[in-house]
Amino acid sequence: MGDTRTDGLFSISKQTTIMAVIAGLAVAAMPSSAWSQVGLSAGAVPAAQLTRTEVAPPLPMKTSSIPENAHPSLDNDYIWPDNMVADIKSAVQRGEIPDPAHRTIQEIPQRDNAPLASNCVSSAQIFAFEDTNGILSGNFSNGQLFALMTDAANTVIATHGDNFDFMGYFLNFDAHHTIGAAFYAGLFNDVSGIGSDQFDARSSIGLNTAEVEGFIMMWNVNSSFWAAGTGPNANFTRLALGQEFEHRFAMFLPNLLDGRQLQGNNSSCGRGAHWNWRVDGQGSSMEISDWVGSNPAQLAGSFVTFNTDIPGSVFSYTDLYLMGYVSPAEMDAGNSELRYMDNSNCSNIYNGTISTFSSADIIASAGPRLPDSTQSEKNFRTAWIMFYRPGDQPSTTELDKAVGILNQHQTDWSLSTLGRGVMDDTLFDDCNCNGIPDSDDIASGFSSDNNGNGIPDECDPCPADLNGDGVVDVQDFFSFVALFDAADPMADLTGDGIVDVLDFFAFVVAFDAGCP
């Protein structure tokens, strides 16, 4: 594209209590006429495509698609990694931004927290970042945009650690212009068998990370086409997020060995880096179609729909294979059918020949996915940043809208990945939902952490696991007895400031419950 561009209550001895207790211990479908296309963005691409600078032409609208003024096209949403680097170099040469190579790189801690299935996305979890120089209000170049995104990401990492797989962005104002309605910019790929070369563009743009794999830009959170929840107005948002994040892994597959083209043809049958609309895979946010019947086969709704094999999912089984969530055999068993409209021009009705294909055909042309579904990364964390203009910090309404969108995104990710994956859209762990990091709650004494596992006891699913090995056993019991006998504050499980029989009973209950 170049420059186009988270004690005393009972008189009972402790020994008697211990012996008595020991004796008793046990153990969302998108409307068919909503819209016809969603174009969303970049990750990794075959070497032959890494020098491309052209922008795919806008796709033709289908007659049964977007109602007038309903939703925008998301064309031009895929940022090729080499183009991002080239845009930044061009901006440096023009004197628009400092050279990333001359940045002072801060030492960052290693990742210290795994992604969690958090339901506590709150306004405190959105990182507000001022566009101090008004870059986005002016006629910015791509290089200036990517440099600003990188600056914000580096600030988040310096503040919250290198704990994020993705950086997501909103604005609370209209930018001078946009690249599509949303885009994904790929920074790193270490997966083979998905049609993409492996690459790492992070240091080239001055990003101080060993974890971040890509940027997701959603532009103005106030836009009418972004909505929270699950209603018809929110479906576009849900599918858009699904597509943008899936671009980490798809869709880059080469043609099948017999020549059938799996990527769009940049004309009537979709765009490159998205499924060809000839492919019948029961729908997905990555534009895999849902064709019904044969002779004629009819397009069910639009080219971007929720999947019918996994009702409410933004991903198909074939998408999940590319993402590392299912094995080839699970992909084939999960797809009710995987067909190809051989000669279709991708209008709504097709009367020609229809062929089929399977995971074996994909592997024959692209190679096996490595790491496979038994070893692949499945849990991800995204830091969300909101750009604002000087003097116009994000309002409660704007932050609440973003929070609603992200809560739904977490839910959609879990459902769409068959419960095998987590998308944690939080800057920090906040299990009690008070907008304060759990580590700060524990350090201040607001929350206790008697087993020292870093999780406040009020939300610890396994408080009797005192040694933190993930198992409640006799070692934990003896550890508690020692704490209780010493009246150690860590044995105050009720949090009333006194170590007494009530705490022992609380431990017995937790011990009996074990770990989930």
pLDDT digits (tens, 9 = 90+) for 57-88: 333 222 222 233 334 445 566 787 888 888 88
Which 3-state string (H, E, C) describes 449-490?
CCCCCCCCHHHCCCCCCCCCCCCCCHHHHHHHHHHHHCCCHH
pLDDT at 391: 95
Half-sphere exposure of 182 (CA within 13 A, CB side): 27
Q: How confident is the model at residue 216 (pLDDT cuts 50, 70, 90)?
A: very high
Q: How confident is the model at residue 451 (pLDDT cuts 50, 70, 90)?
A: low
User: And the tokens for 471?
Assistant: 């198992």
Pairing of strands 279-280, 339-341: antiparallel
User: And the tokens for 41?
Assistant: 């963005």
The widest CA-to-CA distance across the chain, in whole angstroms, is 87
Residue 79 forms beta bridges with which residues? Answer: 185
Q: Exposed e or buried b for every residue in 271-281, given b needs 16+ CB within 10 A?
A: bbbbbbbbbbb
3-class DSSP assignment, residue 144? helix
For the residues 444-472, what does the mean pLDDT come to? 74
Kindly report the backbone phi and psi dihedral angles of residue 136, in degrees, each rounded to the nearest multiple of 5, phi listed first. -75, -10
Pairing of strands 422-424, 379-388: parallel
* Residue 342, Ramachandran bin (φ over 0: left; ψ between -120 and 50: alpha; else beta): alpha
| Boundaries of every domain in the chain | 14-26+461-513, 72-99+121-253+373-424
CB 150 within 8 A of CB 135: no
Q: How confident is the model at residue 104 (pLDDT cuts 50, 70, 90)?
A: low
Which 3-state string (H, E, C) describes 185-228?
EECEECCECCCCCCEECCHHHCCCCCCCCEEEEEEECCCCCCCC
Kindly report the backbone phi and psi dihedral angles of residue 314, in degrees, each rounded to the nearest multiple of 5, phi listed first. -90, -5
What's the pTM? 0.76
Minimum mean pLDDT range among 64-68, 231-235, 296-300, 363-367 = 64-68
Residue 392 has pLDDT above 90, yes or no: yes
Residue 404 has pLDDT above 90, yes or no: yes
Name which residue leads in pLDDT, 502 or 139.
139
Quote the DSSP letter at residue 136. G
CA 262/CA 110 separation, integer angstroms: 39
Residue 387 forms beta bridges with which residues? Answer: 129, 171
CA 55/CA 3 separation, integer angstroms: 11
CB 14 within 8 A of CB 485: yes
Q: Which residue has the tokens 């990710």?
A: 413
Tell me the CA distances in angstroms from 85 to 81, 88, 147, 187, 280, one per residue in order: 7, 5, 10, 10, 36
Going by C-alpha positions, the residue among 417, 422, 243 that lies closest to residue 330 is 417
CA 178/CA 173 separation, integer angstroms: 12
CA 437/CA 444 separation, integer angstroms: 11
pLDDT at 110: 54
